[in-house]
């Protein structure tokens, strides 16, 4: 893992550099699209005393300063990533929950044009792709082939 310029980036956004913030940023950079409890387990390897509550606080502060982006997959807990400001979208596997990034063609929000008749100032248009990932597709083909598929 490349030790990046997180301390500088924290200071630029007016945040104090703390071990908790650095640990969370490094974990999220290495494992994007993970929910807070998974981030907590990974951060605990470096900082065994850190509580889930402090991880939530750190995630909240970093998201508010746009060092992290929060993504709310429909029906699943919010997850976090360090890839901010490119308005990229997500593709979710409906079987295993894997999340992949999808480039935004437009590049900034809102990506889709709302009809003028809506009369709202649109700030975000969420685009979520849903499907079945290659591994899940391969696994279900295997099950069908061997005749052991469960309903
Ligand atoms: Zn899958
Ligand atoms: Zn993403
Ligand atoms: Zn887009």
**Among candidates 87, 84, 86, which has minimal Cα distance to 126?**
87
Tokens read off for 107: 């590049």
Query: What is the distance in A from the centroid of ligand 2 to the CA of 151?
Result: 32
pLDDT digits 0-9 by tens, 11-21: 999 999 999 99
Domain that holds residue 1: 1-85
- 2 and 60 share one domain: yes
Q: How many domains does the chain have?
A: 2
- 73 and 93 share one domain: no
Question: Cα-atom radius of gyration of the chain, to the nearest Å?
Answer: 19
Residue 93 assigned as binding residue: yes
Query: What is the distance in A from the centroid of ligand 2 to the CA of 75?
Result: 17
Q: Is residue 143 part of a domain?
A: no
Give me the CATH number covering residue 132: 3.30.1490.190
Query: What is the distance in A from the centroid of ligand 1 to the CA of 31?
Result: 17
- Non-local (6+) Cβ contacts of 120 within 8 A are 114
Q: Is residue 97 part of a domain?
A: yes
Identify the pLDDT of residue 126.
86
Residue 96 assigned as binding residue: yes
- 98 and 128 share one domain: yes
Identify the pLDDT of residue 60.
98
Tell me how far apart the alpha carbons of residues 128 and 101 are, in angstroms, rounded to a whole number. 10
pLDDT digits 0-9 by tens, 102-139: 999 888 888 888 888 998 988 888 899 999 999 999 99
pLDDT digits 0-9 by tens, 37-83: 999 999 999 999 999 999 999 999 999 999 999 999 988 899 999 99
Identify the pLDDT of residue 3.
57
State the greatest distance between any 2 C-alpha atoms of the chain, in Å, as a whole number. Answer: 59
Please check the confidence at residue 86 and state whether its pLDDT lies above 80. yes
Sheet holding 128-131, edge to edge: 99-102, 89-93, 128-131
Identify the pLDDT of residue 145.
52
- 55 and 107 share one domain: no
- For the beta carbon of residue 98, count every other beta carbon within 10 angstroms: 15
Give me the CATH number covering residue 78: 1.10.10.10
Query: What is the distance in A from the centroid of ligand 1 to the CA of 134?
Result: 7
Question: 71: part of which helix (H) or strand (E)?
Answer: strand 69-71
């Amino acid at each position: 893992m490349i030790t990046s310029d997180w301390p500088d980036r924290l200071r630029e956004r007016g945040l104090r550099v703390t071990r908790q913030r650095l640990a969370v940023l490094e974990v999220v950079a290495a494992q994007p699209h993970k929910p807070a409890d998974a981030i907590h387990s990974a951060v605990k390897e470096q900082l065994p005393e850190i509580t889930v509550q402090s991880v939530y606080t750190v995630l909240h502060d970093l998201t508010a300063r746009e060092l992290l982006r929060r993504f709310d997959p429909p029906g699943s807990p919010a997850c976090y990533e360090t890839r901010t400001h490119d308005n990229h979208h997500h593709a979710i596997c409906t079987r295993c929950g894997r999340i992949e990034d999808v480039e935004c063609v437009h590049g900034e929000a809102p990506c889709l044009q709302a009809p003028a008749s809506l009369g709202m100032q649109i700030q975000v248009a969420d685009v979520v792709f849903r499907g079945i990932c290659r591994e899940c597709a391969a696994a279900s083909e295997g099950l069908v082939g061997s005749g052991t598929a469960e309903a």
